[in-house]
Amino acid sequence: MKPIAPLLLCTLMLAGAARAETRPNPIIVCDEPEHCFGAVTNDRVIIHEFTLSNEGDFPLFIRAVRTDCGCVASRLADDTLAPGKSAQLKVIFDLKKRSGRQFRRIIVESNDPQTPRLILAVFGEAIAPVEIVPDQLWWGNLHSSASNALACEINFSEGDQAYITAAASPSPLFEAGLSVIQPRRKYTLTVRAKPPLQRGEFPSPILLTTDHPRYRTLEIPMRGRIVGDIYSIPGEIVLAPANGEAVSRSFLVYSGIKRKFKILNVDVPDPAIEAHTRPMSGSSGYRVDLRNLRPGPGLDGKQIAVTTDCESTPVLNIPLRLQANGAR
């Protein structure tokens, strides 16, 4: 075989490059890839539509649209654009509970060889007319004899000044007090438990009333659970239907008064259930592992009885509950 002459080889290479350059390709274009929504209050939802166009000579396929976080949702009108066609990409940005400068990216992945990832952005400033820090009061596992107190600050922005006229707890288990740090601008709310406390969950908020025209009532959520001298996490064992298959569950047992104790026995409602107890390292609690639980009507409403050496709580009963089909 005769070698190819250098001039001929160069000609062939140039021809191949020319063919590559003229190969049809899609070209994704967005005339305004950034949207500034300015400074708005954080009770707003920002909705904006980006226009995506195909300025190439081959169909454009949008393979994926991704965002920085779950606070931004996107919806594309059409994921296939013929040459010269356009489609709207709607972006929804919820500013709820956000404050300060905001910047979120939207990443559009396509078959454009030059721009496989097109970056769009929405940005601006979220202004909190009322800022509550922390925005909820978390009590954790609160002993029934405790008189603990938690506090938070309520701050009104300069353009949304208001008086807090009252602070109240709908539950008799707690009392709320208000201190004025700066009139119409800054307050401190203190919530104190009032023992004896009734055991169980207390998803009861603190209610504030103001003279603000848009925020007549403010709710500060409270989360936690009132427990006795001995308590379990979780407080009940929920079993989902398992088509007759055996499942395993675990729970922890702790002292609400922070004293050492012993688990003497664990009684189960079905002899087929195995219970294994072991101390928790670094604490005075225990872990109880249950095996061979078979969810069904026979266990619904039954209890696991944990016998301890604690005089005030010799037996801790942990309910078993069968989750209804479709419940979460």
- What's this model's pTM, rounded to 2 decimal places? 0.66
Three-state DSSP string of the chain: CCCCCHHHHHHHHHHHHHHHHCCCCCCEECCCCEEEEEEEECCCEEEEEEEEEECCCCCEEEEEEEECCCCEEEEECCCEECCCCEEEEEEEEECCCCCEEEEEEEEEEECCCCCCEEEEEEEEEEECCEEEECCCEEEEEEECCCCCEEEEEEEECHHHCCCEEEEECCCCCEEEEEEEEECCCEEEEEEEECCCCCCEECCCCEEEEECCCCCCEEEECEEEEEECCEEEECCCEEECCCCCCCEEEEEEEEECCCCCCCEEEEECCCCCCEEEEEECCCCCCEEEEEEEECCCCCCCCCEEEEEECCCCCCEEEEEEEECCCCCC
What pLDDT is recorded for position 270?
Answer: 94
Q: Verify that 93 and 160 share a domain, yes or no.
A: no
The answer to the question of residue 33 being in a domain is yes
The answer to the question of residue 18 being in a domain is no
Report residue 243's pLDDT band, with 50, 70 and 90 as the boundaries.
confident
The answer to the question of residue 184 being in a domain is yes
Q: Verify that 36 and 87 share a domain, yes or no.
A: yes
Select the more confidently predicted residue: 164 or 21: 164
pLDDT in tens, 215-232: 899 999 999 999 999 999
Domain final residue, candidates 195, 227, 259 = 227
What pLDDT is recorded for position 269?
Answer: 95
Q: Verify that 111 and 179 share a domain, yes or no.
A: no
| Mean pLDDT along residues 283-306 | 93
pLDDT in tens, 50-66: 999 999 999 999 999 99
Q: Verify that 106 and 140 share a domain, yes or no.
A: no
CATH of the domain at 112: 2.60.40.10
Give the least confident one: 19-28, 168-177, 230-239, 279-288.
Answer: 19-28
**Taking 90 as the threshold, does the pLDDT of residue 99 lie above it?**
no
| Mean pLDDT along residues 2-24 | 57
Domain range for 150? 130-227
pLDDT in tens, 262-292: 999 999 999 999 999 999 987 789 999 999 9
Q: Verify that 198 and 243 share a domain, yes or no.
A: no
The answer to the question of residue 20 being in a domain is no
Q: Verify that 99 and 154 share a domain, yes or no.
A: no
What pLDDT is recorded for position 11?
Answer: 54
What pLDDT is recorded for position 326?
Answer: 46
| Mean pLDDT along residues 95-123 | 94
Q: Verify that 223 and 253 share a domain, yes or no.
A: no
What pLDDT is recorded for position 328?
Answer: 46
Average pLDDT across the chain, whole number: 90
Query: What is the total count of domains within the chain?
Result: 3
Select the more confidently predicted residue: 77 or 275: 275
What pLDDT is recorded for position 7?
Answer: 56
The answer to the question of residue 309 being in a domain is yes
Q: Verify that 69 and 93 share a domain, yes or no.
A: yes
**Taking 90 as the threshold, does the pLDDT of residue 123 lie above it?**
yes
